[in-house]
A and B are shown apart, each in its own frame.
Chain A
Amino acid sequence: MTQRAAIAAIRFGLGRRPDEPLAADPEAWLAGQLRPDVPAPALPAGLPGYGEIAEALLRDRTEREQARTAAAAAPPAMPLAPVLPRQLRLIGEAETRAHTGVLLATATPFRERLVAFWANHFAFNIRRSPVVAAHAGHYVREAIRPNVTGPFAKLLEAAVLHPVMLGYLDNNQSTGPNSPIGWRRNLGLNENLAREVLELHSVSPAAGYSQADVTAFARILTGWQMRPFTQPGGGVWFNVNRHEPGTKTLMGRTFGEGERSAPEALAFLANHPATHRHLAEKLVRHFVADTPPPAAIRRVEGALRDTRGDLGAASAALIGIPEAWDRPLTKLRCPQDYIVAVLRAVGFPAPEGLGVVATMARLGQPLWQVPAPDGWPDTAPAWTGPEAMLRRVEWAHAVAGRSAGGADPAALAEQVMGPLANPTTLREMSRAGSRRDALTLLFTSPEFQRR
């Protein structure tokens, strides 16, 4: 394997699977994954749409109420077992199994890295509420994945006006104080979503917006909420009775009232120069270096400016950054990337499913449970706590134990690391007392921790 092929698979991808065909032209292999005609990954049948999610939430609630009634009627000597929200659990298991299955098996790993990047940019936590949890897989499948190589405005609207984000950042409750519901029930704004979209998802504080802009944007967003799951169809709707009437001025731009004002304001923010700068810096930090080279940021920023925010063009610009092809690779694999890279290397049959999910939690990065709306950290010091490193070692040792019957460790090192494997590592592996120990050394070597 050439060095450029190894870097393409490791820096831009999810780590090599030994059974993957080697690309003759690594840059073309990466660029090919950005084409709009790349087929969506094969997902198991039966993952729920909006309507089925709403039915499932309703069924859970009905069962809970029935259990409560039964418990009240039962004699005290016969306590009933607590009823778990069964549909929610089934959806969660199916979605996480499907998602991790894609990560382990995909033949377009650069694209999946972009999905992970944007899902972290539009971060969310399933512990926020059952509604957020029930929609999490749908959000990644339907709002994020189809939009990672299109216009940023489309991705921004798809993510922000999805039940996950409307629930996670409280827009469901935000009510125009002068809207009919606001008047009748004396309700008002919740500015959480507006503030985080400005700060984290689009222009960032560098744009210099004020509290008045946050409030104005919160007013624009009023009315966009999840459809109550007691109504058929589910998904999102615009509740005009919660919408704040009148025009609003956001960062010098005036927006009218009504359903279209939020998508218009999101498009305005998506195409703001400060947004391009913010996204470029985050992309370069993620794919190139913890301290992004200024020229590299300018290159990606220029691609976004020249294409009015085309994320395919921005991603292609990343491939063209000279530093991206330098060694040694300096970015640390975060726990989720690390787990996926190890499991792709040993070729565990996908879907490994729930085992992956439990390990992500154990290594400090539980799936779809970002602690705060700013997403998982993207620099190495956040992931190099001594305890966290030891847990990687212990888990890698366990995996090596399960897969030691298979490949020759030295051959596997060549297949997954190529010339990026350190000679010291290869020498230590050859001296290891067992295949298991040799694989453990490969997976705990400093170069395997990097991408």
Chain B
Amino acid sequence: MNEHLPRRTLLLGLGAAATLGSTRLAFARAPGDARLVVVLLRGALDGLAAVPPYGDPGFAALRPGEARDPGAPGGPLDLGGRFGLHPRLTNIHAMFQSNEALVVHAIAGPYRTRSHFDAQALLESGEARIGTSGWLNRALAGLPEPSRGARNGMALGTDIPLLMRGPTIVANYAPLTAARPEDDLMARIAALNAPDPLLGPAMREGLAQRAFTAGALGPQPQGTQAGGPRPQNPTAELARTAGRLLAEADGPRVAALDMGGWDTHANQAQRLPNTLGALDEALGALREALGPVWRRTAVLVMTEFGRTAALNGSAGTDHGTGGAAFLLGGAVAGGRVIADWPGLAPDQLFERRDLAPTTDLRGLILPLLREHLRLPERTIAATFPEAGGFSPMRGLLRG
């Protein structure tokens, strides 16, 4: 048992509690020991396709081609009688069956713009107006100091999304594929850039991060050179890397991951299944790579808004309002669908076109900061300055 304990837990003096039997409690309550992964689906996931409300008679009226019962050919994976999961979401469904997945429906952020770009920026910045920092970065300020040279936050991919930008320096990881200059030249380049307010920190952080990830991941696989074969599912590759780094005792605690391909204006039935399958594969890879740390992990999968309830003129869906979100992980009190279901009859739709939003996305996020990461209230106040305008959801997490 002890060899699986992260070193940081032992250093914090909580190893003893873990050996006394109530292991899950001890793990869950170690400050700064919880892991949070935020997956932002850019382009607006169609919540009604991902989580079909097959029990609502209005669904068949809106989407005659999609409304199937569980067990029918091409039918959804059942979530307990009213809702189903798209058949490509098998990993999420397995998590649901082992009470490690919460599915939240008819959810949306507080904004009502149907612009991807404004909605993503508002969702990432977490403020009433688009700011220059993201709520996930501001939340990092409330975590215990990481050990020397390590970072609490990590962005996967070659750039850092607004969600992860802000006052706290975060790590940044993308697969290394090119030969680098020798250490001495790198040091000179870093020194040349050091006085630059923008490039100095970036260069310094990049070098520190390379040293760290090289240690944690071992040698980089060959065959990822420029022009070489691309991985079949780059999101799954990044998710697997995130899991391995998050599982390190001195690794990051919070990671952000982006995935695109959700703006299905046309031929949705042909385009969406593969994208959903790639997401599901990535979430499975994340779970596998986290290993025992999955127990202390919560994964939030969110998108900027839902899509129109009915199909448009080209078998796709246009920008809408209410949609679906997922909360996954061993730390999650899962196995439930949470939906204050507004119904799908024409006069129940928002502006007679979109699934009406009945749950504020920030109400799903706030408990992750307060009960999962156990951030101090002053950090939470800085993370969501508008926190008075909505109620946090209850009972999302175990322990």
Contacts and interface: CB of A to CB of B under 8 A. Distances in A.
Contacts of B192: 424-425, 428, 441, 444-446
A275 interface: no
A187 B318 contact: no
B313 A205 contact: no
B42 A394 contact: no
User: SS class of chain B's interface: helix, strand, loop or mixed?
Assistant: loop
Contact of A190 (B113, B158, B179, B266): B266
A385 B313 CA distance: 40
Contacts, number: 154
Contacts of B205: 386
For the complex of A and B, 4 pairs with smallest distance between CB atoms? A173-B314, A188-B313, A386-B206, A446-B196
A187 B314 CA distance: 7
A182 B312 CA distance: 12
Contact of B318 (A192, A385, A428): A192
B195 to A, nearest CB: 8
Interface string B239-277: 000000000000000000000100101100000000000
Given A384-B199, A390-B206, 6 more contacts: A372-B117, A386-B205, A394-B180, A428-B188, A440-B181, A446-B192
B314 A205 contact: no
B260 A187 contact: no
Interface of B: 42-43, 113-118, 132, 155, 158-160, 165, 171-174, 177-181, 184-186, 188-189, 191-193, 195-196, 198-200, 202-203, 205-207, 209-210, 226-227, 260, 263, 265-266, 312-316, 318-319, 351
B186 A182 contact: no
A397 B181 contact: yes
Contacts of B186: 393
26 contacts: A170-B316, A189-B313, A190-B316, A199-B115, A211-B351, A359-B226, A364-B159, A372-B42, A372-B43, A381-B165, A384-B199, A385-B172, A386-B207, A387-B158, A388-B158, A389-B199, A390-B206, A393-B180, A393-B181, A393-B186, A397-B181, A397-B185, A428-B191, A433-B184, A446-B195, A446-B199
A235 interface: no
Contact of A441 (B158, B188, B200): B188
Interface string A415-451: 0000000001100100011000100110011100100
A437 B184 CA distance: 10
Interface string A227-268: 000000000000000000000000000000000000000000
Contacts of B207: 386, 390
A158 to B, nearest CB: 23
Contacts of B260: 371-372
A288 interface: no
A382 interface: yes
A374 interface: yes
B57 to A, nearest CB: 21
Interface size class of A (residues with CB under 8 A): 35 or more
Interface in A367-398: 371-374, 380-391, 393-395, 397-398
A285 to B, nearest CB: 15
Contacts of A384: 198-199, 202
A385 B159 contact: yes
B172 A387 contact: yes
Contacts of B43: 372
A190 B317 CA distance: 8
A239 to B, nearest CB: 13
Contacts of B178: 362, 391, 394-395, 398
Given A205-B118, A387-B174, A391-B158, A177 B313 contact: yes
Contacts of B174: 387
A359 to B, nearest CB: 7
A174 interface: yes
A441 B175 CA distance: 24
A140 B158 CA distance: 27
Contacts of A428: 188, 191-192
Nearest to B170: A386
Given A205-B118, A383-B159, A190 B193 contact: no
A417 B242 CA distance: 41
Most chain B CB neighbours (cut-off 10 Å) among A384, A397, A445: A384
Given A380-B198, A441-B189, A390 B210 contact: yes
A301 interface: no
Contact of A170 (B198, B199, B314, B319): B314
B206 A174 contact: no
A187 B312 CA distance: 8
A196 to B, nearest CB: 9
A362 to B, nearest CB: 5
Given A195-B319, A397-B181, A398-B178, A446 B193 contact: yes
A57 to B, nearest CB: 18
A388 B203 CA distance: 9
Interface in A260-290: none
Nearest to A427: B192
B206 A389 contact: yes
Contacts of A371: 42, 260
Contact of B189 (A191, A192, A386, A444): A444
Contacts of A199: 115, 117
Contacts of A391: 158, 178
B340 to A, nearest CB: 24
A132 to B, nearest CB: 12
Contacts of B113: 205
B150 to A, nearest CB: 14
A397 to B, nearest CB: 4
